[in-house]
Amino acid sequence: MPKRLLILGATGSIGRQALDVVERSEGLAVVGLAAERSWAALLELAASFGVSAIALADADAAARAAESWTAGRVHSGAAGLVELIEATEPDLVLNALVGAAGLGPTVATLGESIDLALANKESLVVGGELVGALAEATGARIIPVDSEHSALHQLLAGEAHAGAQSAAPPRAGTVRRLVLTASGGPFRGRLRAQLAEVGVEQALAHPTWSMGGKITVDSATLMNKGLEVIEAHHLFGVPYERIAVLVHPQSIVHALIDLCDGATLAHLGYPDMRVPISYALHYPERGALPVRTLDLVEVGRLDFEAPDEEAFPCLRLAREAALAGGSGPCVLNAANEVAVHAFLEGALGFLAIDAVIAQTLERAGAEPVHSFEDLYAADHRARALAREAVLALA
Ligand code: NAD
Ligand code: MG
Protein backbone atom coordinates (compact mmCIF):
# COMPACT_ATOMS: atom_id res chain seq x y z
CA MET A 1 0.00 0.00 0.00
CA PRO A 2 1.51 3.36 -0.97
CA LYS A 3 1.75 6.08 1.68
CA ARG A 4 -1.04 8.62 1.09
CA LEU A 5 0.51 12.10 0.99
CA LEU A 6 -1.19 15.51 1.14
CA ILE A 7 0.93 18.52 0.18
CA LEU A 8 0.01 21.98 1.51
CA GLY A 9 1.94 24.73 -0.29
CA ALA A 10 2.38 22.58 -3.40
CA THR A 11 3.23 25.47 -5.73
CA GLY A 12 6.07 26.80 -3.56
CA SER A 13 9.76 26.03 -3.37
CA ILE A 14 9.40 23.15 -0.87
CA GLY A 15 6.13 21.91 -2.42
CA ARG A 16 7.61 21.57 -5.90
CA GLN A 17 10.77 19.89 -4.64
CA ALA A 18 8.57 17.47 -2.67
CA LEU A 19 6.70 16.60 -5.88
CA ASP A 20 10.07 16.00 -7.53
CA VAL A 21 10.92 13.56 -4.71
CA VAL A 22 7.53 11.85 -5.13
CA GLU A 23 8.14 11.38 -8.87
CA ARG A 24 11.42 9.62 -8.13
CA SER A 25 10.02 7.46 -5.33
CA GLU A 26 8.03 4.30 -5.08
CA GLY A 27 5.46 4.03 -2.37
CA LEU A 28 4.22 7.63 -2.22
CA ALA A 29 0.79 8.56 -3.63
CA VAL A 30 -0.30 12.21 -3.67
CA VAL A 31 -3.96 12.43 -2.59
CA GLY A 32 -4.38 16.20 -2.30
CA LEU A 33 -2.69 19.51 -3.06
CA ALA A 34 -3.19 23.03 -1.70
CA ALA A 35 -1.89 26.53 -2.37
CA GLU A 36 -2.82 30.12 -1.64
CA ARG A 37 -4.01 31.60 -4.97
CA SER A 38 -2.00 30.20 -7.90
CA TRP A 39 -4.94 28.11 -9.09
CA ALA A 40 -3.79 27.46 -12.68
CA ALA A 41 -0.44 26.10 -11.49
CA LEU A 42 -2.22 23.98 -8.87
CA LEU A 43 -4.58 22.49 -11.46
CA GLU A 44 -1.60 21.60 -13.65
CA LEU A 45 0.03 19.79 -10.74
CA ALA A 46 -3.26 18.06 -9.88
CA ALA A 47 -3.50 16.80 -13.47
CA SER A 48 0.07 15.49 -13.60
CA PHE A 49 -0.20 13.70 -10.26
CA GLY A 50 -3.73 12.36 -10.78
CA VAL A 51 -5.09 14.24 -7.78
CA SER A 52 -8.85 14.72 -7.39
CA ALA A 53 -9.03 17.05 -4.37
CA ILE A 54 -7.39 20.44 -4.01
CA ALA A 55 -7.74 23.54 -1.82
CA LEU A 56 -7.03 27.21 -2.43
CA ALA A 57 -6.88 29.56 0.55
CA ASP A 58 -7.96 32.49 -1.58
CA ALA A 59 -11.72 32.22 -2.19
CA ASP A 60 -11.63 33.99 -5.60
CA ALA A 61 -8.86 31.69 -6.81
CA ALA A 62 -10.84 28.69 -5.55
CA ALA A 63 -13.92 29.89 -7.48
CA ARG A 64 -11.88 30.29 -10.70
CA ALA A 65 -10.41 26.80 -10.26
CA ALA A 66 -13.85 25.27 -9.65
CA GLU A 67 -15.18 26.89 -12.87
CA SER A 68 -12.52 25.33 -15.05
CA TRP A 69 -12.01 21.96 -13.36
CA THR A 70 -14.41 19.06 -13.55
CA ALA A 71 -11.99 16.31 -12.56
CA GLY A 72 -12.30 16.82 -8.82
CA ARG A 73 -13.31 18.83 -5.77
CA VAL A 74 -12.02 22.33 -4.95
CA HIS A 75 -12.05 23.33 -1.27
CA SER A 76 -12.03 27.05 -0.59
CA GLY A 77 -10.56 29.39 2.01
CA ALA A 78 -8.47 28.72 5.12
CA ALA A 79 -11.22 26.33 6.26
CA GLY A 80 -10.89 24.57 2.88
CA LEU A 81 -7.36 23.48 3.76
CA VAL A 82 -8.65 21.86 6.94
CA GLU A 83 -11.52 20.22 5.00
CA LEU A 84 -8.97 18.84 2.54
CA ILE A 85 -7.02 17.23 5.40
CA GLU A 86 -10.18 15.56 6.68
CA ALA A 87 -11.55 14.58 3.24
CA THR A 88 -8.45 12.95 1.75
CA GLU A 89 -7.54 10.73 4.72
CA PRO A 90 -3.78 11.05 4.23
CA ASP A 91 -1.15 9.03 6.10
CA LEU A 92 1.17 12.03 6.02
CA VAL A 93 0.63 15.78 5.53
CA LEU A 94 3.51 17.92 4.26
CA ASN A 95 2.95 21.44 5.61
CA ALA A 96 4.98 23.68 3.28
CA LEU A 97 2.93 26.84 3.73
CA VAL A 98 4.71 30.03 4.61
CA GLY A 99 4.04 31.99 7.80
CA ALA A 100 1.62 31.71 10.71
CA ALA A 101 -1.07 30.66 8.20
CA GLY A 102 0.47 27.21 8.62
CA LEU A 103 -0.62 26.90 12.25
CA GLY A 104 -4.26 25.96 11.54
CA PRO A 105 -3.32 23.09 9.19
CA THR A 106 -0.62 21.88 11.62
CA VAL A 107 -3.21 21.73 14.41
CA ALA A 108 -5.80 20.07 12.15
CA THR A 109 -3.30 17.41 11.01
CA LEU A 110 -2.05 16.50 14.48
CA GLY A 111 -5.59 16.71 15.87
CA GLU A 112 -6.63 14.00 13.38
CA SER A 113 -3.67 11.85 14.59
CA ILE A 114 -2.02 12.21 11.18
CA ASP A 115 1.79 12.34 10.92
CA LEU A 116 3.16 15.72 9.90
CA ALA A 117 6.21 16.45 7.71
CA LEU A 118 6.82 20.01 8.84
CA ALA A 119 8.54 22.63 6.69
CA ASN A 120 6.39 25.43 8.11
CA LYS A 121 8.66 26.33 11.04
CA GLU A 122 6.36 29.26 11.92
CA SER A 123 3.79 26.76 13.30
CA LEU A 124 6.24 25.73 16.00
CA VAL A 125 7.52 29.24 16.63
CA VAL A 126 4.01 30.55 17.19
CA GLY A 127 2.46 27.62 19.02
CA GLY A 128 5.30 25.27 20.00
CA GLU A 129 4.03 24.30 23.45
CA LEU A 130 0.43 23.69 22.41
CA VAL A 131 1.41 21.98 19.15
CA GLY A 132 3.82 19.68 21.01
CA ALA A 133 1.17 18.82 23.60
CA LEU A 134 -1.34 18.07 20.84
CA ALA A 135 1.09 15.71 19.07
CA GLU A 136 1.80 13.96 22.33
CA ALA A 137 -1.91 13.59 23.07
CA THR A 138 -2.82 12.13 19.68
CA GLY A 139 0.38 10.17 19.05
CA ALA A 140 0.99 11.84 15.68
CA ARG A 141 4.64 12.34 14.73
CA ILE A 142 6.24 15.60 13.65
CA ILE A 143 9.09 14.94 11.22
CA PRO A 144 11.04 18.12 10.46
CA VAL A 145 11.81 19.17 6.88
CA ASP A 146 14.00 22.15 7.72
CA SER A 147 17.51 20.97 6.79
CA GLU A 148 19.15 21.67 10.16
CA HIS A 149 16.33 20.00 12.08
CA SER A 150 16.26 17.04 9.74
CA ALA A 151 19.99 16.70 10.42
CA LEU A 152 19.37 16.91 14.19
CA HIS A 153 16.53 14.38 13.96
CA GLN A 154 18.92 11.96 12.25
CA LEU A 155 21.78 12.65 14.67
CA LEU A 156 19.55 12.33 17.74
CA ALA A 157 17.89 9.12 16.53
CA GLY A 158 21.05 7.26 17.47
CA GLU A 159 21.00 8.76 20.96
CA ALA A 160 17.30 8.36 21.73
CA HIS A 161 16.46 5.55 24.12
CA ALA A 162 12.87 5.79 22.92
CA GLY A 163 14.05 4.50 19.51
CA ALA A 164 13.72 6.17 16.13
CA GLN A 165 10.37 4.60 15.37
CA SER A 166 8.48 5.67 18.47
CA ALA A 167 5.87 8.39 18.19
CA ALA A 168 7.85 10.67 20.51
CA PRO A 169 10.55 12.84 18.94
CA PRO A 170 14.08 11.87 19.85
CA ARG A 171 14.93 13.28 23.28
CA ALA A 172 18.33 14.58 24.01
CA GLY A 173 19.30 12.73 27.20
CA THR A 174 22.97 12.19 26.37
CA VAL A 175 23.26 15.46 24.50
CA ARG A 176 25.02 18.50 25.90
CA ARG A 177 24.31 20.90 23.09
CA LEU A 178 22.62 21.19 19.70
CA VAL A 179 24.39 23.31 17.09
CA LEU A 180 22.50 24.76 14.13
CA THR A 181 24.60 26.03 11.26
CA ALA A 182 23.73 29.17 9.29
CA SER A 183 25.12 30.20 5.92
CA GLY A 184 25.20 33.81 7.15
CA GLY A 185 23.16 34.91 4.13
CA PRO A 186 24.18 37.35 1.39
CA PHE A 187 25.38 40.05 3.83
CA ARG A 188 27.72 37.95 5.96
CA GLY A 189 30.78 39.94 7.01
CA ARG A 190 29.17 43.35 6.60
CA LEU A 191 29.00 45.90 9.39
CA ARG A 192 25.60 47.31 10.32
CA ALA A 193 26.38 50.64 8.70
CA GLN A 194 27.03 48.83 5.42
CA LEU A 195 23.50 47.39 5.43
CA ALA A 196 21.61 50.69 5.33
CA GLU A 197 21.25 50.81 1.56
CA VAL A 198 20.75 47.14 0.67
CA GLY A 199 17.75 46.49 -1.54
CA VAL A 200 15.30 43.66 -2.20
CA GLU A 201 17.27 42.16 -5.06
CA GLN A 202 20.44 41.88 -2.99
CA ALA A 203 18.57 40.38 -0.05
CA LEU A 204 17.03 37.76 -2.35
CA ALA A 205 20.42 36.66 -3.73
CA HIS A 206 21.12 33.83 -1.27
CA PRO A 207 24.62 32.37 -1.63
CA THR A 208 23.84 28.66 -1.11
CA TRP A 209 20.07 27.92 -1.05
CA SER A 210 17.29 28.73 -3.54
CA MET A 211 14.08 29.28 -1.53
CA GLY A 212 10.84 31.26 -1.33
CA GLY A 213 11.02 35.05 -0.83
CA LYS A 214 10.09 35.25 2.85
CA ILE A 215 12.60 32.71 4.13
CA THR A 216 15.31 34.19 1.88
CA VAL A 217 14.88 37.61 3.54
CA ASP A 218 14.78 35.85 6.94
CA SER A 219 18.15 34.31 6.04
CA ALA A 220 19.57 37.73 5.17
CA THR A 221 18.51 39.20 8.57
CA LEU A 222 19.41 35.96 10.45
CA MET A 223 15.81 35.87 11.76
CA ASN A 224 15.57 32.50 10.02
CA LYS A 225 18.14 31.12 12.47
CA GLY A 226 16.30 32.73 15.39
CA LEU A 227 13.09 31.01 14.29
CA GLU A 228 15.05 27.77 13.92
CA VAL A 229 16.41 27.96 17.48
CA ILE A 230 12.80 28.12 18.71
CA GLU A 231 11.82 25.32 16.31
CA ALA A 232 14.64 23.10 17.64
CA HIS A 233 13.67 23.79 21.24
CA HIS A 234 10.13 22.55 20.64
CA LEU A 235 11.04 19.62 18.40
CA PHE A 236 13.73 18.17 20.64
CA GLY A 237 12.88 19.47 24.13
CA VAL A 238 16.31 21.07 24.65
CA PRO A 239 16.58 24.26 26.76
CA TYR A 240 17.53 27.43 24.90
CA GLU A 241 20.91 27.82 26.58
CA ARG A 242 21.94 24.48 25.06
CA ILE A 243 21.10 25.43 21.45
CA ALA A 244 23.93 27.23 19.65
CA VAL A 245 24.23 28.87 16.23
CA LEU A 246 27.38 28.59 14.13
CA VAL A 247 27.93 30.45 10.87
CA HIS A 248 29.22 28.14 8.14
CA PRO A 249 29.18 29.79 4.71
CA GLN A 250 29.49 26.61 2.59
CA SER A 251 26.25 25.05 4.00
CA ILE A 252 27.80 21.57 3.92
CA VAL A 253 27.55 20.81 7.65
CA HIS A 254 23.84 21.14 8.50
CA ALA A 255 23.93 20.55 12.27
CA LEU A 256 26.04 19.06 15.06
CA ILE A 257 25.37 17.52 18.47
CA ASP A 258 27.82 17.61 21.37
CA LEU A 259 27.48 14.53 23.59
CA CYS A 260 28.12 14.03 27.29
CA ASP A 261 31.32 12.02 26.68
CA GLY A 262 33.06 14.70 24.58
CA ALA A 263 32.09 13.28 21.17
CA THR A 264 30.60 15.65 18.60
CA LEU A 265 28.54 14.26 15.71
CA ALA A 266 27.86 16.22 12.52
CA HIS A 267 25.49 15.78 9.57
CA LEU A 268 26.91 16.72 6.16
CA GLY A 269 25.79 16.95 2.56
CA TYR A 270 25.56 19.33 -0.38
CA PRO A 271 22.78 21.90 0.15
CA ASP A 272 19.75 20.30 -1.55
CA MET A 273 16.35 20.48 0.18
CA ARG A 274 15.22 17.31 -1.57
CA VAL A 275 17.40 15.37 0.88
CA PRO A 276 15.57 16.43 4.08
CA ILE A 277 12.24 16.38 2.21
CA SER A 278 12.87 12.78 1.15
CA TYR A 279 13.87 11.86 4.71
CA ALA A 280 10.60 13.27 6.07
CA LEU A 281 8.40 11.72 3.38
CA HIS A 282 9.90 8.23 3.72
CA TYR A 283 10.52 8.18 7.46
CA PRO A 284 11.16 5.76 9.13
CA GLU A 285 12.39 4.20 5.86
CA ARG A 286 14.86 5.87 3.49
CA GLY A 287 14.22 6.45 -0.20
CA ALA A 288 17.00 6.56 -2.82
CA LEU A 289 17.58 9.95 -4.46
CA PRO A 290 19.84 10.64 -7.45
CA VAL A 291 21.87 13.34 -5.69
CA ARG A 292 25.65 13.63 -5.67
CA THR A 293 27.53 11.99 -2.83
CA LEU A 294 29.54 14.53 -0.89
CA ASP A 295 33.11 14.91 -2.17
CA LEU A 296 35.10 16.69 0.53
CA VAL A 297 38.21 16.89 -1.66
CA GLU A 298 36.17 18.90 -4.15
CA VAL A 299 34.75 21.09 -1.34
CA GLY A 300 38.32 21.58 -0.09
CA ARG A 301 37.62 23.60 3.02
CA LEU A 302 34.89 24.26 5.55
CA ASP A 303 34.79 27.60 7.39
CA PHE A 304 33.09 28.49 10.67
CA GLU A 305 32.59 31.75 12.54
CA ALA A 306 30.40 33.19 15.29
CA PRO A 307 27.23 35.02 14.25
CA ASP A 308 27.46 38.82 14.33
CA GLU A 309 24.50 39.82 16.51
CA GLU A 310 25.46 43.45 16.31
CA ALA A 311 24.96 43.70 12.57
CA PHE A 312 22.08 41.18 12.68
CA PRO A 313 20.08 41.78 15.90
CA CYS A 314 17.18 39.52 14.82
CA LEU A 315 18.92 36.48 16.28
CA ARG A 316 19.11 38.20 19.68
CA LEU A 317 15.48 39.41 19.41
CA ALA A 318 14.35 35.85 18.71
CA ARG A 319 16.23 34.48 21.71
CA GLU A 320 14.78 37.20 23.96
CA ALA A 321 11.23 36.51 22.76
CA ALA A 322 11.80 32.78 23.22
CA LEU A 323 12.97 33.23 26.81
CA ALA A 324 10.07 35.59 27.57
CA GLY A 325 7.79 32.72 26.47
CA GLY A 326 3.98 32.94 26.35
CA SER A 327 2.91 35.00 23.37
CA GLY A 328 6.47 36.37 22.88
CA PRO A 329 7.49 34.11 19.97
CA CYS A 330 4.05 34.58 18.35
CA VAL A 331 4.49 38.38 18.50
CA LEU A 332 8.05 38.07 17.16
CA ASN A 333 6.85 36.01 14.23
CA ALA A 334 3.88 38.25 13.39
CA ALA A 335 6.03 41.41 13.50
CA ASN A 336 8.65 39.73 11.34
CA GLU A 337 6.06 38.68 8.74
CA VAL A 338 4.68 42.22 8.54
CA ALA A 339 8.16 43.78 8.34
CA VAL A 340 9.46 41.35 5.71
CA HIS A 341 6.34 41.84 3.63
CA ALA A 342 6.82 45.64 3.79
CA PHE A 343 10.51 45.25 2.86
CA LEU A 344 9.64 43.06 -0.15
CA GLU A 345 7.08 45.68 -1.25
CA GLY A 346 9.74 48.37 -1.10
CA ALA A 347 7.96 50.14 1.78
CA LEU A 348 10.62 49.54 4.45
CA GLY A 349 14.42 49.65 4.57
CA PHE A 350 16.43 46.55 5.43
CA LEU A 351 17.62 47.91 8.78
CA ALA A 352 14.08 48.88 9.77
CA ILE A 353 13.02 45.20 9.77
CA ASP A 354 14.57 44.53 13.16
CA ALA A 355 13.41 47.94 14.43
CA VAL A 356 9.78 47.04 13.63
CA ILE A 357 10.16 43.72 15.44
CA ALA A 358 11.84 45.28 18.50
CA GLN A 359 9.16 47.99 18.80
CA THR A 360 6.33 45.49 18.41
CA LEU A 361 7.80 43.17 21.03
CA GLU A 362 8.17 46.07 23.40
CA ARG A 363 4.61 47.29 22.92
CA ALA A 364 2.86 43.90 22.84
CA GLY A 365 4.83 42.27 25.67
CA ALA A 366 4.59 38.55 26.38
CA GLU A 367 1.24 37.38 27.71
CA PRO A 368 0.41 33.91 29.07
CA VAL A 369 -1.05 31.57 26.44
CA HIS A 370 -3.64 28.94 27.33
CA SER A 371 -5.27 28.15 24.00
CA PHE A 372 -4.86 28.47 20.24
CA GLU A 373 -7.44 31.29 20.43
CA ASP A 374 -5.01 33.22 22.67
CA LEU A 375 -2.36 32.80 19.97
CA TYR A 376 -4.62 33.93 17.13
CA ALA A 377 -5.54 37.03 19.19
CA ALA A 378 -1.88 37.79 19.99
CA ASP A 379 -0.95 37.35 16.31
CA HIS A 380 -3.74 39.71 15.25
CA ARG A 381 -2.80 42.40 17.75
CA ALA A 382 0.93 42.15 16.97
CA ARG A 383 0.27 42.58 13.25
CA ALA A 384 -1.67 45.79 13.90
CA LEU A 385 1.15 47.14 16.09
CA ALA A 386 3.77 46.12 13.54
CA ARG A 387 1.88 47.89 10.74
CA GLU A 388 1.91 51.05 12.85
CA ALA A 389 5.65 50.65 13.37
CA VAL A 390 6.16 50.17 9.61
CA LEU A 391 4.30 53.42 8.89
CA ALA A 392 6.34 55.27 11.51
CA LEU A 393 9.67 53.92 10.26
CA ALA A 394 9.04 53.98 6.51
P1 NAD B 1 7.13 29.64 -0.98
O2 NAD B 1 6.75 31.05 -0.81
O3 NAD B 1 8.01 29.25 -2.10
O4 NAD B 1 5.80 28.74 -1.09
C5 NAD B 1 4.75 28.86 -0.16
C6 NAD B 1 3.57 27.97 -0.57
O7 NAD B 1 2.53 28.13 0.40
C8 NAD B 1 2.95 28.31 -1.92
O9 NAD B 1 2.44 27.12 -2.48
C10 NAD B 1 1.78 29.24 -1.55
O11 NAD B 1 0.74 29.21 -2.50
C12 NAD B 1 1.36 28.63 -0.23
N13 NAD B 1 0.77 29.62 0.69
C14 NAD B 1 1.33 30.77 1.14
N15 NAD B 1 0.50 31.39 2.00
C16 NAD B 1 -0.60 30.62 2.11
C17 NAD B 1 -1.82 30.71 2.84
N18 NAD B 1 -2.10 31.77 3.61
N19 NAD B 1 -2.71 29.71 2.72
C20 NAD B 1 -2.47 28.65 1.92
N21 NAD B 1 -1.35 28.51 1.18
C22 NAD B 1 -0.43 29.48 1.29
O23 NAD B 1 7.76 29.18 0.43
P24 NAD B 1 8.88 28.06 0.69
O25 NAD B 1 10.23 28.66 0.51
O26 NAD B 1 8.52 26.81 -0.03
O27 NAD B 1 8.73 27.85 2.27
C28 NAD B 1 7.66 27.13 2.83
C29 NAD B 1 7.96 26.85 4.31
O30 NAD B 1 9.10 26.01 4.40
C31 NAD B 1 8.31 28.12 5.11
O32 NAD B 1 7.83 28.00 6.42
C33 NAD B 1 9.84 28.10 5.12
O34 NAD B 1 10.37 28.77 6.25
C35 NAD B 1 10.11 26.61 5.19
N36 NAD B 1 11.42 26.23 4.65
C37 NAD B 1 11.70 26.45 3.33
C38 NAD B 1 12.94 26.09 2.80
C39 NAD B 1 13.24 26.27 1.33
O40 NAD B 1 14.29 25.81 0.88
N41 NAD B 1 12.38 26.91 0.55
C42 NAD B 1 13.90 25.53 3.65
C43 NAD B 1 13.59 25.32 4.99
C44 NAD B 1 12.34 25.67 5.48
MG1 MG C 1 16.84 25.79 7.79
Q: In this structure, which residue's CA is closest to atom 20 in ligand 1?
A: 36
Q: Which H/E stretch holds residue 244?
A: strand 243-247
CA angle 246, 233, 92 (to 5 degrees): 110
Model pTM score: 0.97
Separation of alpha carbons 35 and 10, rounded Å? 6
Ligand 1 in reach of 141 Cβ (< 6 A): no
Longest CA–CA span in the chain (Å) reads: 63
Separation of alpha carbons 3 and 92, rounded Å? 7
Residues 214-272: pLDDT tens digits? 999 999 999 999 999 999 999 999 999 999 999 999 999 999 999 999 999 999 999 99
DSSP, residue by residue, 144-198: E-SHHHHHHHHHHHTT-TT-TTSSSPPP-TTEEEEEEEE---TTTT--GGGGTT-
Torsion of CA 358, 374, 371, 167, to 10 degrees: -40
Q: Which residues surround ligand 2, an ion (CB under 5 A)?
A: 146-148
Q: Which ligand is nearest to the CA of 229?
A: 2
- Binned at pLDDT 50, 70 and 90, residue 166 comes out as very low
Strand arrangement, sheet containing 243-247: 243-247, 175-182, 253-259, 264-268
Ligand 1 in reach of 122 Cβ (< 6 A): yes
Give the domain 3-140 fold.
Rossmann fold (3.40.50)
Ligand 1 in reach of 228 Cβ (< 6 A): no
- Binned at pLDDT 50, 70 and 90, residue 394 comes out as confident
Contact 75, 52 (CB under 8 A): no
56 CA distance to ligand 1 centroid (A)? 14
150 CA distance to ligand 2 centroid (A)? 9
Ligand 1 in reach of 38 Cβ (< 6 A): yes
Q: Does position 193 have pLDDT exceeding 60, yes or no?
A: yes
- Binned at pLDDT 50, 70 and 90, residue 167 comes out as very low
Domain ranges across the chain: 3-140
